[in-house]
Amino acid sequence: MLDRFVGGLLHPLIHAGHGAEFNVDGMLAEGLALAAVTNSNTKELYPPDFFEFDTLGATPTSAMSAGSSMVSRLANLALGGSNTPSTPAAAATDSSKFTSALSILNAISSDPSLAAGQVCDRDSDTKFSETLRKKGAYIREKYTSKFTVGAGKEGVNKALEEAIWTAVIIYGLGGYRPGKDFRSDFFTLHCVTSVFFLPFLITQLEHNHVAQSALVRAHFSITPAFYISRGRPALPIKAFFEPSLPEEIHQLISKYLLSVSPNESALGQKLKVTEGSHPITPIGNPFPAVILSSLHHPEEHLIKVNRALADFDERYGTRPKGYWNVEGWEDMDGTLFRRVALRTMKALGWVREGDAPGKFERDGLGWDELWD
């Protein structure tokens, strides 16, 4: 059942997560109903041994109270009705068993057998299904199975953060090429909008570490599969983070803000420039303007992805460079979420402020010819 929960472009998880976020049982039921009627087409990523995992320090879970209907339903969905305690082997806490999500992503992005055209055809309408059919077991065995959730709340939160960054990186950096306009991939975007709901679902599963771990690992497992099915676009880390954030905010947002002349006592990072006779002062956090404009956009997915990015920015936006101690990712910091949001806005258009609406990309951004 877990593979159905993350099937259908992750919509069962999204709907159930929405129900968990606002404690709306009807929306949760809708998500579970979607899971029940969604094809089981991701089972290559979730073989039986997916559920025989070592939770690295997990303690046996306590029985759920009869009144926790939402919790019990989610647990049943995640583990086929089981609330089985972790095995004694799960008491191990050897840090060598942990593999960073970014290390896994590095390996995937350099695997020649997963390059554009090797797994699925550029013109195919079933890229994701072809990817799983041809390489699903390989992706699972060689890469995603190495992602592990640690013990207790701290272990879950760490794994959750890695899953969130992975989804945003694949969508954000995957849509960026130096010297080209940013392009927003419709499929990897859903990895971002869905991972947003994991914290709410995990909270509902607070008494079941095994189910929490399975849910985080399930999402992490499917995200690289979408990335590969889109042609495994390059992830130009250094170029993506090259402009200073104040400069980028000025370039991408200043013309959409009201011209103001703040008093010198006003708080916030200020970048004063002059256009005509009107001083413009973009402030460090672009999300108020981004969210306001997104609410008026005809494409409903825009506000969904920007709401998620705003939340991630609140959680992780102060992470400094070097926070992820992984080779190749030294230039990445918590400005990731603001940069991705601003570039998404540029691609889809600030329609409230007068831009024509843009569109999402559905062809797969890993094929070089699609950027010409």
pLDDT tens, residue by residue, 203-223: 999 889 999 999 999 999 999
Q: What pLDDT is stored for residue 123 in this prediction?
A: 94
Whether the pLDDT of residue 279 is over 90: the answer is no
- Nearest 5°: the CA angle 42, 44, 50 is 100
Contact 254, 273 (CB under 8 A): yes
* Amino acid identity at 140: R
Angstrom distance (rounded) from CA 20 to CA 205: 10
Q: What pLDDT is stored for residue 21 in this prediction?
A: 96
Whether the pLDDT of residue 283 is over 60: the answer is no
Angstrom distance (rounded) from CA 136 to CA 218: 13
For 6-20, 69-83, 236-250, which range has the lowest pLDDT when averaged over its residues? 69-83
Average pLDDT of span 23-39: 95
**DSSP category for residue 274:** E
Q: What pLDDT is stored for residue 353 in this prediction?
A: 85
Q: What pLDDT is stored for residue 68 in this prediction?
A: 52
Q: What pLDDT is stored for residue 322 in this prediction?
A: 93
Q: What pLDDT is stored for residue 52 in this prediction?
A: 76
Angstrom distance (rounded) from CA 23 to CA 10: 20
For 90-104, 219-233, 357-371, which range has the lowest pLDDT when averaged over its residues? 90-104
Angstrom distance (rounded) from CA 165 to CA 175: 15
Pick the closest to residue 310 from 193, 219, 199 (CA basis): 193
Whether the pLDDT of residue 51 is over 60: the answer is yes
Q: What pLDDT is stored for residue 257 in this prediction?
A: 60
Whether the pLDDT of residue 267 is over 50: the answer is yes
Task: Say how many Å lie between the first and final Cα of the chain, rounded.
Answer: 42
User: 127-142 and 209-229 helices cross at what angle (nearest 10)?
Assistant: 130
Q: Using one digit for the tens of pLDDT, what is the confidence trace for 155-198?
A: 999 999 999 999 999 999 999 999 999 999 999 999 999 999 99
Between 100 and 278, where is the model more confident? 100
Q: What is the mean pLDDT of the chain?
A: 84
Q: What pLDDT is stored for residue 91 in this prediction?
A: 30
Whether the pLDDT of residue 95 is over 90: the answer is no
Q: How confident is the model at residue 67 (pLDDT cuts 50, 70, 90)?
A: very low
For 61-75, 175-189, 290-304, 350-364, which range has the lowest pLDDT when averaged over its residues? 61-75
Q: What pLDDT is stored for residue 93 in this prediction?
A: 35
Of 56-65, 237-246, 354-363, where does the model show the most confidence?
354-363
Q: What pLDDT is stored for residue 251 in this prediction?
A: 66
Whose tokens are 């272990």? That residue is 155
Contact 312, 168 (CB under 8 A): yes
Whether the pLDDT of residue 28 is over 80: the answer is yes
Burial 181-193 (b: 16+ CB within 10 A, else e): ebbbbbbbbbbbb
Q: What pLDDT is stored for residue 82 in this prediction?
A: 43
Q: Using one digit for the tens of pLDDT, what is the confidence trace for 310-348?
A: 999 999 999 999 999 999 999 999 999 999 999 999 999
Checking DSSP bridges between strand 278-280 and strand 273-275, what pairing results, if any? Answer: antiparallel
